[in-house]
């Protein structure tokens, strides 16, 4: 039984697109970086903590067995509630951040913060890093993916108009490559899906290396 420890609709869409059947159970943990924490260490730590928190929460539901709660039926990848043994549970956690000059740019706190981030990214190449973690009863594996993203130079008017759409406000680095910001990104180096929020190839490799052949349900 695969559980995604994230409420991100983008991660749900990517997992569904890749053919995985899964349940959604978001993690609720503090996401502030530690002092002087390296961006890769930051995202891999959060991915691991999210996956471990959800695994513990579900595994404690009924002692030796657990009931995976039902997600909203209209959500992609949603499965009916079922009772599973902890040893059959697999939890996937992920966290994505934008970095520039090794500084972490998380989700903007307000429109002014979004404008600050977009001015920093304007005309420069930054990196998007996603940490992923897979937790089972026997193993915890973590890895990360990094993609270089080039931005065109943005005017203050373009930044203000983009912020007015509301799109930047829940995105690391204050932009969505799959949204309106696509017109400002002439090239990337690396995994596009990583920039969206989940490096599907890396996730598939981790899951397939940890789990017995045929144990993952594909749609």
Catalytic residues: 95
The Cα 15–Cα 175 span in angstroms is: 21
Please, are residues 93 and 144 in contact by the beta-carbon 8 Å criterion? no
Instruction: Tell me the CA distances in angstroms from 172 to 1, 75, 114, 143, one per residue in order.
Output: 29, 23, 10, 19
Give how far Cα 138 sits from Cα of 132, 141, 210, 211, Å.
Answer: 17, 10, 9, 10
Instruction: State the Cα–Cα distance between residues 17 and 66, nearest whole angstrom.
Output: 27
The answer to whether the beta carbons of residues 190 and 3 sit under 8 Å apart is no
Packing angle, helices 111-121 and 156-164, rounded to 10: 140
SS3 state at 145: strand
Between the alpha carbon of residue 30 and those of residues 27, 34, 49, 121, the distances in Å are 10, 11, 10, 26
């Amino acid at each position: 039984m695969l559980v995604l420890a994230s409420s991100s609709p983008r991660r749900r869409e990517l997992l569904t697109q890749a053919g995985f059947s899964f349940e959604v159970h978001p993690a609720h943990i503090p996401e502030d970086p530690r002092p002087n924490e390296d961006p890769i260490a930051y995202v891999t730590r959060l991915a691991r903590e999210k996956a471990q928190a959800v695994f513990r929460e579900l595994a404690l539901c009924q002692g030796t067995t657990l009931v995976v709660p039902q997600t909203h039926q209209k959500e992609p990848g949603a499965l009916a509630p079922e009772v599973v043994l902890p040893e059959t549970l697999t939890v996937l956690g992920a966290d994505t951040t934008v970095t520039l000059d090794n500084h972490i740019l998380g989700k903007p706190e307000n429109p002014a913060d979004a404008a600050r981030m977009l001015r920093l990214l304007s005309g420069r190449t930054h990196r998007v890093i996603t940490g992923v973690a897979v937790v089972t009863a026997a193993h915890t594996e973590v890895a990360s993916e990094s993609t270089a993203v080039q931005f065109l130079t943005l005017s203050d008017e373009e930044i203000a108009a983009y912020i007015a759409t509301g799109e930047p406000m829940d995105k690391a680095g204050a932009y969505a490559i799959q949204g309106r910001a696509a017109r400002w990104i002439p090239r990337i180096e690396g995994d596009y899906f990583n920039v969206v929020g989940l490096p599907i190839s890396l996730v598939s490799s981790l899951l397939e290396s940890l789990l017995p052949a045929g144990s993952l349900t594909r749609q």
